[in-house]
Structure 1
């Protein structure tokens, strides 16, 4: 069995701890089952068929993607149900989607967003004359946005009006959806309450379109940083003005949970608030100390091309020394060491007085990251590990 210090591999090296992956996947599956919500994991996080197979094995609705290109990739993996949590507005992509839903491939169902008359017109034109069974495999959700946020209509009335036009155009309306992320940047009591209010607005918006939906009304939101709030609000019973139950399906699209991290998602931690076990960071990026040019400063061969930096800088976790044969030695936990800046291929590490001298050129440091999506996309392969042993090499289809 190969090890991470095998000459086949070079630093910087991306590894995924197998035990952490499995723990995160089973923990979230159990938490969502207990909350009575469905899960369509957002695979943009990793774009790895083998990781998706681990996620789907515990029971999910399907895979979520962010772009038509990602949709084509996961269709190639054989995924039967895909949620494109975005608008689709290029006629070429719509034409491909129509052909992919003709029953000759693996796609059984694809959901997409609309948030404009123009976007709806493009879908209607692209599916004009399609066989009824092809049209039936396309599900449309009208997106509710956030003022100042990303895509999505800004008012309940606009969502209801567009939903009516979707229905009248002969497309299959399945529900309403959106992304709660722009509502809050932290997890204070006030911010969590704001996310809850947005979820309630999505529910109320859904009530306005429920009569146009054939089957349970789908309510969908993201749920990576605020899964507890989203699950509790969208998974709660929905009743109309007369007090009658409205059948619903709450579908969360959490994706970053699968690897978790040592930064943004570690601090957000909706899972323990949901009553589940804490998730475990699975990602480590390993890189070599190049230089210790002055007291309190170490330079590492790790830069913006190797690790995420859009939310937080990486966290130095452990150091190991390579012996004369190139084998990694014992772990040394790092304290008093932090990354202060990144260049394209260099990281600047500041060491406090007590830690000065603990790192030497040639040492290998294992870093934790903040925001897995923008670390994984920098690699074409990830190594799934059990200790230092490489149990699987996973292709990343970015």
Structure 2
């Protein structure tokens, strides 16, 4: 838990996030992926060390590879430590207390969320630092946040700090009115970061001048400005050299805005200036460009954005907070294509952890297989799923171990059906379709995990030999 002596400076980097263990969760007949006759605790389901092919489970089923999760969490933690940055993983991807607990144990500084509903959820997990990477515009939610921070500083309360974005004078006004008359201790728990966007992109101011104007307004309202925030994914859509140059320029622009804040004394003098970026696609550029102290010369004299000495000026420490979230499960599509990990010195590939298993329902014609998986089970906003594995029925109706499924591709989805096209057999060979029969089970990789987990209440974490080692819940 956070050291109570650090409550006056809640952004101390040495204090790490914690999250209590999952309470005794209950699953039952209504839980997708399970076939239970009555409600049971997760501990009870796992007591007999079941495998995903055992009677407790049904198809379709979302599984997460335990070793892949461990690899991804430890790799991210190591890279952040080596580059001297903090990690507040974006939990919107899975909204899973159990999965966030892994990241917290690995040293996550806090949790990032996308909206007030998610903020309330992670507070029930006991997360003490939450980063709402979005504008907070609802007066009701601002009032709730004030009550939450007031409770945290009351006798017996648990320390709490929440950061939010602002990109408009209206947003500043709402926060100002919502926290009018709040105690200094409560105000200290609220960080208001000015968001910087890109022309044609989504939220965020479009110029340094606008960023400065908002930061001045926040300070005039008696609120705290830790620094500047942005999402580098808005700057480019690919990984060509030109795309990476755009992301580089955007990250350097964030540092320039941070330096302008420091020059005007808008960031509290006893704190490092925060520069935060998100996303898992361009982490290589973020780690290369954002860390390092700022050297700020006199008013109007410019900034050495790389932190090098120029014969004068004030040096200010920078706290970089990255918000990467999708890396946790990675994928077989979009994340794999955008993968920055091989571009990071000392990095290595992330491992795809998520597989959705579905049963073959019909093989109505040569080359076409219909599976019991659909839009309600897999992500499809960027790419269709990828056929990975095949489990065939044995003579007793059981399923054999999975083996690679080659020559098959997903060509369409309905609500509850998946169209799997199988390549024709070479001349003189038996049709490949004869290798896939009704009752077999196919494992599919996904693309874009951020639109996968909302379709599931529970995911089965699997270890060796298909053994289910955990059931992690989602809270959307």
TM-score normalized by the length of structure 1: 0.97
Matched, 1:160 2:238: no
Deviation at 1:382, TM superposition (A): 0.8
Matched, 1:360 2:408: no
Q: Quick one: distance in 1 between partners of 2:323 and 2:329?
A: 15
Query: 1:135-214 alignment to 2 at 5 Å?
Result: 135-210=187-262, 211-214=265-268
- Structure with bigger RCO (C-alpha 8 Å, 6+ apart): 1
Q: Quick one: distance in 1 between partners of 2:130 and 2:280?
A: 18
The answer to whether the 8 A contact 1:5-1:326 is kept is no
Q: Deviations over 1:97-156 (max 9, x none)?
A: 011111155451000001111111111111112121111100010000111111111111
Instruction: Show the counterpart of 1:259.
Output: 329
Instruction: Show the counterpart of 1:384.
Output: 461
Structure 1 residues 54 and 279: alpha-carbon distance in aligned structure 2, compared to 1, 3 A threshold: same
* SS at 1:218 equivalent: strand
Q: Quick one: distance in 2 between partners of 1:347 and 1:64?
A: 34
Instruction: Show the counterpart of 1:340.
Output: 411
Q: Deviations over 1:53-90 (max 9, x none)?
A: 11011112100000100000000000010000001110
Deviation at 1:294, TM superposition (A): 1.1
* SS at 1:223 equivalent: coil
Q: Quick one: distance in 1 between partners of 2:92 and 2:136?
A: 16
Larger mean CA deviation between 228-237 and 303-312 belongs to 228-237
Matched, 1:72 2:124: no
Instruction: Show the counterpart of 1:99.
Output: 147
Deviation at 1:324, TM superposition (A): 6.0
Deviation at 1:48, TM superposition (A): 0.8
Deviation at 1:243, TM superposition (A): 4.5
The answer to whether the 8 A contact 2:335-2:448 is kept is yes
* SS at 1:357 equivalent: helix
The answer to whether the 8 A contact 2:197-2:234 is kept is no
Instruction: Show the counterpart of 2:348.
Output: 277
Aligned-residue RMSD, C-alpha: 1.3
TM-score normalized by the length of structure 2: 0.82
The answer to whether the 8 A contact 2:69-2:329 is kept is yes
Q: Quick one: distance in 1 between partners of 2:402 and 2:57?
A: 19
Structure 1 residues 106 and 329: alpha-carbon distance in aligned structure 2, compared to 1, 3 A threshold: farther
Q: Deviations over 1:304-324 (max 9, x none)?
A: 110000111100000002346
Number of residues paired by the alignment? 398
Matched, 1:119 2:171: yes
Q: Quick one: distance in 2 between partners of 1:137 and 1:376?
A: 31
Q: Quick one: distance in 2 between partners of 1:301 and 1:145?
A: 42
The answer to whether the 8 A contact 2:292-2:317 is kept is no
Where structure 1 has 5 or more consecutive residues not aligned to the other structure, the ranges are: none
Q: Please identify the structure whose Cα radius of gyration is greater.
A: 2
Q: Quick one: distance in 1 between partners of 2:113 and 2:158?
A: 16
Instruction: Show the counterpart of 1:59.
Output: 107
Where structure 2 has 5 or more consecutive residues not aligned to the other structure, the ranges are: 1-48, 298-311, 426-431
Instruction: Show the counterpart of 1:234.
Output: 290
The answer to whether the 8 A contact 1:79-1:107 is kept is no
Q: Quick one: distance in 2 between partners of 1:391 and 1:239?
A: 50
Among candidates 63, 70, 73, match of residue 25 of structure 1: 73
Structure 1 residues 18 and 98: alpha-carbon distance in aligned structure 2, compared to 1, 3 A threshold: same
